[in-house]
Amino acid sequence: MVRRTVTAIDADTGPKRDPHRAVQENSMFHQSSQDGFLPEESRSDHPLAGEPPTNERRRLGIGHLTALNVPPPDLVTIAAQAGFDCVGLRVATTTGQERRWPVDVGSPMLLETVRRLQATGLAVLDVEITSLQPDTAVADYEHVLETGVRLGARFLNVTCEDPDPDRAADTFAALVERAKLYEIRPALEAMPDKQVRTVEQARRIAERSDGGGVLLDALHLQRCGDSVDDVRALDPALLTYLQIRAAPRQEPGHGALPLAALLGAVPDDLPVSVEAPDLDRLAELGPQEFLRDRHDAARALLAPATVTS
């Protein structure tokens, strides 16, 4: 497999990119002391590689939804300063009401985001968000994959609005096949207001693909009626990462499944991402302090969690 790393080639333009070329470009070594770039990291040195020794040192990321009004380059810098290991970036939207950041291939914002990633050493856990609709074609999300590979993203967040489970499974399988060319793994998230509402439904669709995964969200699991036993019954190879809510003065597992039990039901090295928006608190504290609060709250939640069988 071609080793993937974040590079500075992202100023390249063109409406459609050869995915093989995109991955090859991202495997090249590019270092510029003038731009403050860091040397290329090997996969074994990558912030998402290796196994953390304890829950309190699980790889911890921050989802873009937590501070969606912060531009991607600034989110990378602030997240690194707050102590996060990785970041999720919202490079696409599913509704016309949400502002879409201009991070397509060839954009100055994408290039600046790549520079910030290299300068901080932060990894990109996932890019979002894609939605399986009845008329979805894989080509609809080619630009998301093109952006994702240049960011070094590991996963692609997917939700489902298609009421036909067989058609949704076929679309997801096709997306998984296309994403392989970019070395990105689509992860299907069950949500109570979507057509895929339970981890069992997500499992069935993911298993019909050749390599797709399931994204867990502690709050959605509770709202969907799933239990820790439902999570434990999943094939660990299907799991991609776990989203949690975390805020100062929040009780562990507040509004979601008990965190210690949930962590005991998933692999020890499964990354955790904080998705905890609060517009009022963000405006009050400012992005830097807000993200640091989220980081510290998440680490406090993880600290007492012990892995149980």
DSSP-assigned letters across all residues of 120-168: H--EEEEEEEEEE-TT--GGGGHHHHHHHHHHT--EEEEEE--S-HHHH
Calpha distance 258→255 (Å, rounded): 9
Binned at pLDDT 50, 70 and 90, residue 114 comes out as very high
- Provide φ and ψ at 17, rounded to 5°: -115, 145
Q: Is 229 a residue whose pLDDT tops 60? A: yes
**Does residue 13 belong to any structural domain of this protein?**
no
Q: Is 237 a residue whose pLDDT tops 80? A: yes
Q: Is 39 a residue whose pLDDT tops 50? A: no
Mean pLDDT of all residues in 287-306: 87
Mean pLDDT of all residues in 108-129: 97
pTM of the model: 0.83
**Does residue 30 belong to any structural domain of this protein?**
yes
More reliable by pLDDT, 20 or 96: 96
Binned at pLDDT 50, 70 and 90, residue 2 comes out as very low
**Does residue 309 belong to any structural domain of this protein?**
no
Calpha distance 188→9 (Å, rounded): 30
**Does residue 308 belong to any structural domain of this protein?**
no
* Chain segment 242-279, per-residue pLDDT in tens: 999 876 655 444 555 688 889 999 999 999 999 999 99
Q: Residue 261 belongs to a domain with what CATH number? A: 3.20.20.150
Calpha distance 180→175 (Å, rounded): 9
Binned at pLDDT 50, 70 and 90, residue 140 comes out as very high
What interhelical angle do 142-151 and 19-26 show, nearest 10? 10
Q: Determine the structural domain holding residue 257 and report its residue range.
A: 19-302
129: preceding bond cis by omega (within 30 degrees): yes
**Does residue 247 belong to any structural domain of this protein?**
yes
Helices (H), 208-278: 218-224, 228-232, 259-264
Calpha distance 65→89 (Å, rounded): 8
**Does residue 147 belong to any structural domain of this protein?**
yes
| Burial of 39 from C-beta contacts in 10 A (0-12 / 13-18 / 19+) | exposed
**Does residue 72 belong to any structural domain of this protein?**
yes
Q: Is 55 a residue whose pLDDT tops 80? A: no
Number of domains in the chain: 1
Q: Smallest Cα–Cα separation from 154: which of 49, 295, 251?
A: 49
When the pLDDT of each residue in the chain is averaged and rounded to a whole number, the result is: 83
Contacts of 209 (CB under 8 A, 6+ apart): 169, 172, 173, 176, 177, 186
**Does residue 25 belong to any structural domain of this protein?**
yes
Other C-beta atoms within 10 Å of 304: how many? 11
